[in-house]
Amino acid sequence: MYERKTPLSIDCGLHLTREVLNGKWKPALLYAISMDIKRPSEILRLLPGVTRRVLNVQLKELETHGMVEKKTYPQLPPKVEYSLTEIGRSLIPVIDAMNQWGDANRSFLETVIAQDPKIGETSKSICLKYGHMLVERKIG
């Protein structure tokens, strides 16, 4: 496992939160688990962009940080379920806010991102199913 070489600043709340949410898929993972998509294989189907390996790694970090709990059923084939902890649950409104902001400003953001000289291409079709899920949640 990689070990950090420089001290991590935990001075303000922003940095603490960043440490927990820092990971390409972490907000989405928490979101998914909050939606009851709790098994790794389900999550993989939902987010075709993640690989098995990266999913494991980021879930592990979320677990280390106390945001999710992992329950392993001693079955064969194996069954694993993740669930939010108390504190993990308390993060959902924040993630919700991030998601809503992004969604609400989608057209603007797509435009500026497209103009960003750093960006080559963008792919939009990665988490369609996830998108559907979010819609359903809003309705529910």
Q: Using CB under 8 A, which of 76, 121, 139, 140 touches its own copies? A: 121
Q: Which residues contact 35 (CB under 8 A, 6 or more apart)?
A: 133, 137
Taking residue 119's Cβ as centre, other Cβ atoms within 10 Å add up to 10
The number of residues in the chain equals 140
The answer to the question of residue 103 lying near its own copies (CB under 8 A) is yes
Query: E strand or H helix at 132, and its extent?
Result: helix 128-139
Q: Does 129 bind DNA (CB under 7 A)?
A: no
Q: Taking CB under 8 A as the rule, does residue 105 contact its own copies?
A: yes
What is the 8-class DSSP label of residue 135? H
Asked if 39 touches DNA (CB under 7 A), the answer is yes
List interacting residues with its own copies (CB under 8 A).
1-21, 24, 27-28, 31, 49, 61, 64-66, 87, 90-91, 93-95, 97-106, 108-110, 112-113, 115-128, 130-131, 134
